[in-house]
Structure 1
């Protein structure tokens, strides 16, 4: 027996029909034969024939039910089923197609028609299987290519962000901490039933990926101002404020070079421009108030301030987690959106755990001047 031949399962309770079908098919196919519907299902599950020739009128379980069960089983749902029947009414044919059959052959059987139909459906099923395999290969290649592009994009983003952070005597771990703060804050708002339409899984992923670019504009601030440990003069503070617009413009220039819209860049641009805005309108650069401030920037405002408070800088020692929580709580309704502060308070231990996981080991500030009102801006992400 040629094992390379396709396998045909004949399901018929009539001995004469089985004999005729076997005589016609055996020269070309490997043939399996059963007489009952329940047997047919077991044979299909065990041997996975390439095609099934199924009688409709059988005792206990008719062909319609057999076909429905084969289609319902993931192991057998792609096996083509051809009904063999003397029923020629349109409603009978429709019922068979509704059950999942691919064709009808009327009795008495014409051997040439039988062979032609079987060969046709085997070739069609093989072509569909090959197409599915090709689609899976293409999808795998696309996923791999996408993964490579995302890895390159993420590495580029981190490199750009690290450039800005190192100029401010901060570390790459600041980037990682703020990323995770943002994600946890957004997910907590969703758990509380807030901003469900805005904070989709895709949006939260964009928040996570774009967070490192919030201070990219600091590359345009002179070191004498950026690294100054004393209180900034009024003129110096006006220059410092420009890091938000510089950051927005850098990202906008990337955006303008693309021929498609990027939700990621839109989110990054919002965060860079508006993360220093305050809920009561006293922030910068535009003095936006409440919901005028993009949600992404409102989230970053809290994440950035928390990290600034708990981190050592050349102009301040690190505050304890508890003191940082107290300061943020007091800023509810003035610096921060109350709902975001409430979400923060619900998961403040997670913030503490993130800070510990990505702590800045080995950082020692050269000096720790007292935290006066001028330095306070810096402690809060100046």
Structure 2
């Protein structure tokens, strides 16, 4: 893109001076190359600038009755829509201190009276070229920002669609899940947001990390894809050997995510949480869980949140080995698990917002649940 002034519509210059002869002189000098607007006072100049068609440059006299040029410039600088218009002072005041005041206020140049026409035209041209260059750069930056935002939205959408497709595929192999994945995803976010101000959890539960937890939660049971149908779909309780095989879904899920991340060649935040949740959501606070038997805070926070969300939903859902419990019964069982199955502070937080869990269960309910 050319930055020559001739490549676009003629720029508009606003001349502000309380002397009619000076306005006539400047208009005659500039009008062959530019559109010229005239203002005989600072107040009138501000009215012109406040209109829809703003000037590209302002030539501003300093010594005017009423509102002087300094005050006009102050007002312009306070207006976000006008602050970027370059201002050149026209003045008979030649003291260095006067120039410093104007430049400190935001003027781009000074032209002394009586004017030299060649100097005026040269400086006006230079400042307009600079403004045009800034405008081009600003427009380019705004375009790039829009493109980055658009591409970011596309990437996020692709992530979401991919996770949904994968988890939906996993759901088709497990006839007991129903909307379990969607419910647990929303339970985790609600619980994490509630615990955001807790001193034990605030450092990790930033808004960005909570969003990553929300994205990751649907992958908690992805490893069940690798469990044989005779076990995954068995219409009854599993025996000891079958349960040992079922327990491997945690490792299978974690390993699948690790492999995907390695193929990407970089670490991604939401995949970090996905690995933690898939591998450790069956761990228990007292160390009696699996697959590693982790104890207390050795269990990742993401997995501790998922553990409670997962158990709550299992309790209110019908299974081949149990009826659907009521919301109150689920609360009782989780309260009993405080300090052995679950992180005590997470249980306390859950009990404070348990009505929100019930609401999510109703919103994403199916025939298997009893919220």
Aligned to 1:183: 189
Q: Distance in 1 between matches of 2:355 and 2:270?
A: 28
CA positional deviation for 1:218: 0.9
* 1:11-53, Cα deviation, whole Å (9 max, x unpaired): 1223343232122112222222223222211210014112111
Which residue does the alignment assign to 1:39?
A: 44
SS in 2 for 1:167: coil
Q: What does residue 57 of structure 1 align with?
A: 63
Alignment match, 2:32: 27
Q: What is aligned with 1:8?
A: 13
Question: How many residues matched?
Answer: 361
Partner of 1:275: 281
2:4 matched residue in structure 1: none
Partner of 1:137: 143
- Picking from 202, 215, 218, the partner of 2:224 is 218
2:210 aligned residue: 204
**Residue of structure 1 aligned with 2:83, choices 69, 77, 84:** 77
Q: 2-side partners of 1:314 and 1:140: how far apart?
A: 52
Q: 1:339 corresponds to which residue?
A: 345
Could you tell me which runs of 5 or more consecutive residues in structure 2 were left unpaired when the two chains were aligned: 1-7
> Are the equivalent residues in 2 in contact too, given 1:84–1:105 (CA < 8 A)?
yes
Identify the match of residue 311 of structure 2 among 302, 305, 313.
305
Q: 1:358 aligns with which of 333, 345, 364?
A: 364
User: Does the alignment pair 1:68 with 2:104?
Assistant: no
1:54 counterpart SS class: strand
User: Partners of 1:91 and 1:342 in 2: how far apart?
Assistant: 67
Aligned CA-pair RMSD: 2.1
* Counterpart-to-counterpart distance in 2, 1:187 and 1:138: 33
* Equivalent pair of 1:169/1:313 in contact (CA under 8 Å): no
Q: Secondary structure at the match of 2:165?
A: helix
User: How far did 1:186 drift?
Assistant: 0.8
Q: Which moved more, 1:207-216 or 1:13-22?
A: 13-22
CA distance in 2, matches of 1:293, 1:196: 17
Q: Offset at 1:172? A: 5.5
What residue number does 1:380 align with?
none
The 3-state SS of whatever aligns with 1:313 is coil
Q: CA deviation at 1:194?
A: 5.2
Contact 2:92 2:113 in 1 (8 A): yes
Give 2:102's aligned residue. Answer: 96
Unaligned runs of 5+ in 1: 365-382
Look up the match of 1:166: 172
TM-score, normalised to structure 2, is 0.90
1:348 aligned residue: 354
Alpha-carbon contact 2:216-2:271 (below 8 Å) kept: yes
2:240 aligned with 1:238: no
1:261 is matched with which residue?
267
Alpha carbons 1:278, 1:290 under 8 Å: kept: yes
CA gap 1:193/1:48 in 2 versus in 1, 3 angstroms? farther
* 2-structure distance, mates of 1:249, 1:179: 21
What SS does the aligned partner of 1:257 have? helix
Whether contact under 8 Å (2:237, 2:320) holds in the other structure is no
